[in-house]
């Protein structure tokens, strides 16, 4: 068991996999709330920025999920690494800043979906954490956020790839945020003990 003094002092690198509205960003938010110096990184950020530059009249909220899926798929067909390159460059840039500033942070990828994204984070030494929520829970969250819900969205290839991914850790997010928070604390203890 690690001491409370070392809890949060050792950095970790995790990549979150999970379907839409499973709670991946909530995990990153909880880590931040717990006081961990984290850098959130997301492949979807590059895609969303490119999408909204090309489609400035489409609002960001409610999240235009179907449009993101179509745009991302079309762009990846032209160049499979179109979102991987800028996202991994952001990671390397942030790591270089940390080293240059004698700063230690943990890194959290919040949206690993595509096979090449999974490969990139594994090569960079990230532990894979699956965030699972039942479909009915995810649908309720989507509706509460004013997002579209359809079979096309729930069964998109971007949602199906990860079914076959092997995770190092599993978080189940079907209940209240306090339960997810408890699981996140347990996860951090495990990650720090492993690095021990």
Q: Tens digit of pLDDT for each residue in 153-188?
A: 999 988 999 999 999 999 999 999 999 999 999 999
The yes-or-no verdict on residue 194 having pLDDT over 90 is no
d(CA 196, CA 194): 5
In 3D space, the residue among 76, 56, 58, 80 whose CA is nearest the CA of residue 67 turns out to be: 58
pTM (2 d.p.): 0.92
The encoded tokens of residue 178 equal 């306090």
Q: Tens digit of pLDDT for each residue in 41-87?
A: 999 999 999 999 999 999 999 889 999 999 999 999 999 999 999 99
Q: Tens digit of pLDDT for each residue in 74-91?
A: 999 999 999 999 999 999
176 DSSP assignment: -
CB contact set of 59 (below 8 Å; sequence gap of 6+) = none
The yes-or-no verdict on residue 147 having pLDDT over 60 is yes
The rounded percent of the chain whose pLDDT value lies above 90 is: 85
d(CA 69, CA 84): 16
What mean pLDDT, rounded, does the chain reach?
A: 93
The yes-or-no verdict on residue 192 having pLDDT over 70 is yes
In 3D space, the residue among 138, 159, 163 whose CA is nearest the CA of residue 72 turns out to be: 159
d(CA 19, CA 160): 8
The yes-or-no verdict on residue 132 having pLDDT over 90 is yes
CB atoms within 10 A of CB 191: 20
Domains delineated in the chain: 13-195 (3.40.50.300)
d(CA 81, CA 7): 36
Q: Under a CB-based contact definition with an 8 Å cutoff, are residues 39 and 105 in contact?
A: yes
pLDDT bin (cut points 50, 70, 90) of residue 5 is low
What local confidence, expressed as pLDDT, does residue 8 receive? 57
Give the pLDDT mean for 100-118: 95
Phi-psi region of 73 (alpha: psi -120 to 50; beta: other; left: phi over 0): alpha
CB contact set of 95 (below 8 Å; sequence gap of 6+) = 107
What local confidence, expressed as pLDDT, does residue 10 receive? 80
The yes-or-no verdict on residue 4 having pLDDT over 80 is no
pLDDT bin (cut points 50, 70, 90) of residue 9 is low
In 3D space, the residue among 125, 117, 142, 115 whose CA is nearest the CA of residue 22 turns out to be: 142
Q: Under a CB-based contact definition with an 8 Å cutoff, are residues 63 and 111 in contact?
A: no
Give the pLDDT mean for 111-133: 98
Query: Can you say whether the dihedral through the CA atoms of 118, 39, 173, 83 is positive or negative?
Result: negative
């Amino acid at each position: 068991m690690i001491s409370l003094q070392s809890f949060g002092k050792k950095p970790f690198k995790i990549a979150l996999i999970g379907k839409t509205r499973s709670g991946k960003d909530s995990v990153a938010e909880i880590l931040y709330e717990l006081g961990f110096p984290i850098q959130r990184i997301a492949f979807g950020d590059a895609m969303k920025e490119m999408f909204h530059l090309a489609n400035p009249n489409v609002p960001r909220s409610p999240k235009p999920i179907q449009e993101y899926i179509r745009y991302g798929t079309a762009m990846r067909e032209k160049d499979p690494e179109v979102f991987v390159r800028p996202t991994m460059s952001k990671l390397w840039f942030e790591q270089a800043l940390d080293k240059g500033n004698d700063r230690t942070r943990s890194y959290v990828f919040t949206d690993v979906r595509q096979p090449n994204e999974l490969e990139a984070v594994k090569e960079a030494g990230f532990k894979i954490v699956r965030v699972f929520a039942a479909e009915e829970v995810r649908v309720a969250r989507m509706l509460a956020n004013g997002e579209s819900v359809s079979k096309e969205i729930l069964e998109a290839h971007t949602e199906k790839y990860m079914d076959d991914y092997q995770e190092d850790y599993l978080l189940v997010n079907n209940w209240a945020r306090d339960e997810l928070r408890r699981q996140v604390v347990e996860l951090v203890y495990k990650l720090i003990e492993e690095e021990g």
